[in-house]
A and B are shown apart, each in its own frame.
Chain A
């Protein structure tokens, strides 16, 4: 595959976790770096031949998941300790309310969501790269406390931010 790939690692399984706002800012910084790279020409007017290069941001992680710890289910070595928080995250993602999600994703909230609950930070970093917008697909997997989601964005159009997070432009 002849595509440049830049892995970004965020430690989400061992405290201390980075704050959600910092992860959002990390994503925004990655986007800013791409937009100002003269070789990529991601500017609004488009790149060579009027075509903007395409960029994909991939992230993986659960919203609520305990692996191997005291809060596993009665039937598995994993569990979903905070199903209500899982539903809350889904709702905020669906609505494109990224700023509100960042406000609510406190260190304590993530810790209560299981020893892998911090993995939500990876989604937040990805959304920091995209800017606040609603997904075109969000398929919940409640038995694992995670989801499959996709966002699509055309940089040449103004994106429809619904809930601009504080401190991120």
Chain B
């Protein structure tokens, strides 16, 4: 259920300009108002822009990257990508040559 709460919030970010504004101006307050409720661990990860942690908690990465796209919690797309790469460094090293440069 908690994983759903993360995904739902990321989904709403893409659809609700008012929510994006609230997450920029009063992020903790907006996160605490989210339904379904986030756990304290998830809330802290959002506030820190710790997308690696949220991904490990089971978030859908496609939805999660919207946080970078909308520049929330100190993220942008390059920062988002770098944190995901860092989080999955070990797995990525184990499949070197399997990723392919893209534009």
Chain A residues proximal to chain B, CB less than 8 Å = 13-14, 66-81, 83, 115-116, 143-145
Contact = CB atoms under 8 A, between A and B. Distances in A.
Interface residues of B, number: 24
A75 B102 CA distance: 7
A13 B62 contact: yes
A81 B99 contact: yes
Interface string B49-82: 0000001000011101100100000000110110
Contacts of A144: 102-103
Contacts, number: 76
Interface of B: 55, 60-62, 64-65, 68, 77-78, 80-81, 84-85, 87-88, 91-92, 95, 98-103
Nearest to A13: B62
A77 B68 CA distance: 9
Contacts of B102: 73, 75-76, 78-80, 143-145
Q: Is the interface of A mostly helix, strand, loop or mixed?
A: loop
Nearest to A142: B100
Contact of B81 (A76, A81, A116): A76
